């Protein structure tokens, strides 16, 4: 569980930067769509993805929810 927190922060920061959002706006999106739960559930797969593919994957998850 220790290694998941830094990864959740990494995802949030990269999502924020990629989409040119404020930290609050990115956090609001992550909370609205339960992205942190998604990251925890699929950590084993997600942490092995490249950054661009990871952000694309999060975008697809949001689009389907």
Whether the predicted pLDDT of 1 surpasses 90: no
| Distance of alpha carbon 21 from alpha carbon 13, whole angstroms | 10
Q: What is the pTM of this model?
A: 0.92
pLDDT value, residue 48:
94
| Distance of alpha carbon 29 from alpha carbon 43, whole angstroms | 19
pLDDT value, residue 2:
78
Cα-based distances in Å from 32 to 8, 44, 49: 15, 23, 23
pLDDT value, residue 61:
96
At 13-55, the pLDDT tens digits run: 999 999 999 999 999 999 999 999 999 999 999 999 999 999 9
């Amino acid at each position: 569980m220790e290694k998941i927190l830094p990864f959740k922060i990494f995802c949030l920061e990269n999502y924020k930067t990629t989409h040119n959002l404020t930290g609050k706006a990115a956090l609001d999106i992550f909370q609205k769509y339960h992205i942190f739960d998604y990251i925890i559930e699929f950590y084993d797969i997600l942490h092995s993805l490249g950054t661009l593919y990871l952000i694309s994957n999060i975008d697809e998850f949001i689009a389907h929810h």
